Amino acid sequence: DIVMTQSPDSLAVSLGERATINCKSSQSVLYNSNNENYLSWYQQKPGQPPRLLIYWASTRESGVPDRFSGSGSGTDFTLTISSLQAEDVAVYYCQQYYTIPLTFGQGTKVEIK
């Protein structure tokens, strides 16, 4: 199984400041035939299901604010919130869909400082 490891486990950021979450996979999730990274990012607020933010490592889902961006390739990925808003308080998960079983990172809790 591909192990997904996120860092940090939690972070507190001031409103308007940048938040950065890292995700590392135990093996590459880059599929050479189409040069796509099979990596997505989800946001989960309390009492709600996960919401897809980013897929193919850097493609923003429709309706997701452009302050959310994804980057990285191979085994190292980053989710950046460029200017943290109050409504961004949530747990964020990375997920690989390169192979079965799909696996998720342990989650990163983002709070307001």
- Contact residues for another protein, defined by CB under 8 A: 40, 42, 48-52, 55-56, 93, 95, 97, 100-107
CA distances from 10 to 31, 70, 83, 91 (A): 30, 18, 17, 9
Minimum Å distance from CB 23 to another protein? 13
Minimum Å distance from CB 7 to another protein? 15
Q: How many CA atoms lie within 13 A of 40 on its CB side?
A: 14
* Numbers of helices and strands, H then E, in the chain: 0, 13
Minimum Å distance from CB 80 to another protein? 19
Of 57 and 84, which has the nearer Cβ to another protein? Answer: 57
